[in-house]
Structure 1
């Protein structure tokens, strides 16, 4: 399971303990206000690339994972509008799945402190006889789809690492006079190395969709200009 960023009090969803729990969908994404990037799955690269750079980071074990860079700020971003609404840009699934998530064992968990569970209004997650409601089944389907895409993305990243296709992406941007902003610890796919991978790999990547993901990632680097413009407007 991807890290439980945003979840302040995660708990397993239990049909006995939470049989009266009501869920009220919300478009308030203010819980993201302190982050400047979030994990991304490969299938999202296409839509995200129009609005934000798709880059790669590396965890403590040396494994790579993709992320959507929301801003060039040390913390926070400028995609939030009034009442925590999201501006006219792509909302990563990592954000949209909140306040629910799946454990590695496939158990549904949720953030008990989330505003979506406050009050008596909302949709029931369990029927009177303890069965899943349509609302909960739809949530579980979304979580399962996300989990499968997350695993597929990790396989993609493992192959990038095995083929040594990722190179450090260090960028210096001058937002204000004498105040350069440096991006460090990020990685991009090296196009020269990409052009030299074996032909059988290219076919496999085409069939799996990984080749399209790769070019969507490279296309997304142009969205850095959008982030620079957005940040300069707030200075």
Structure 2
């Protein structure tokens, strides 16, 4: 992956295409979950409590070995009934910035950033396009919901319900 912040300087004359294959997730063994999706994910995927970056959370278990995703076939087709939110915003991600709003980022190595085809990153006024804004809202809501789930899991861990 080559993650870069979306900027007018870099992306004003480029476009992006939505993904048509889940090949990008073929080696994703665990997908972090958000509180808002637990009920749907639990009906379709095995879930596990995981310790990540010193905090407890929940994840969908997509494979049994590192680098394995049993829910993506060789052609990049998703085989499950539910797709974790962490995978649905691709190729966009939320960047990390402590001093201000996190910037929208994109995986520049995705093959989905092009000079011709697709959706523009910015509108004619130089603001993020409505489509990019919509994707970023989805990612921000997902990140907030992930934080809620981390808090709930941390509470469980504080009562020694979870242990490594």
TM-score range relative to shorter protein: 0.7 to 0.9
Q: How does 1:167-186 map to 2 (within 5 A)?
A: 167=163
Give, in whole Å, the separation in 1 of the partners of 2:151 and 2:33: 14
Deviation at 1:82, TM superposition (A): 6.0
Alignment partner of 2:45 out of 44, 47, 52: 52
Instruction: Note if 1:64 corresponds to 2:47.
Output: no
CA-based RMSD of the aligned residues comes to: 1.9
Give, in whole Å, the separation in 1 of the partners of 2:136 and 2:28: 26
1:178-201: CA deviations, max 9, x gaps? xxxxxxxxxxxxxxxxxxxxxxxx
Conserved in 2, the CA contact under 8 Å of 1:16 and 1:130?
no
TM-score normalised to structure 2 length? 0.87
Gaps of 5+ in 2: none
Q: What residue number does 1:25 align with? A: 18
Report which of the two structures shows the higher radius of gyration computed on alpha carbons.
1
Deviation at 1:16, TM superposition (A): 2.7
1:68–1:165 CA distance, 2 compared to 1 (3 A): same
Gaps of 5+ in 1: 1-7, 169-235
Instruction: Note if 1:100 corresponds to 2:92.
Output: yes
Aligned structure 1 segments of 4 or more residues deviating by more than 3 angstroms: none
Deviation at 1:128, TM superposition (A): 2.5
Q: How does 1:113-152 map to 2 (within 5 A)?
A: 113-118=109-114, 120-152=116-148
Give aligned pairs, total.
160
Q: SS state of the match for residue 9, structure 2?
A: coil
Give, in whole Å, the separation in 1 of the partners of 2:84 and 2:53: 23
Q: What residue number does 1:182 align with? A: none
1:128–1:79 CA distance, 2 compared to 1 (3 A): same
TM-score normalised to structure 1 length? 0.62
1:47-93: CA deviations, max 9, x gaps? 111221111112363x2121111122443122124631212421111
Alignment partner of 1:11 out of 4, 17, 23: 4
Higher mean displacement: 86-95 or 74-83: 74-83
Q: SS state of the match for residue 18, structure 2?
A: coil
Q: SS state of the match for residue 60, structure 2?
A: strand
Give, in whole Å, the separation in 1 of the partners of 2:120 and 2:66: 39
Q: What residue number does 1:189 align with? A: none
Conserved in 1, the CA contact under 8 Å of 2:2 and 2:108?
yes
Q: SS state of the match for residue 96, structure 2?
A: coil
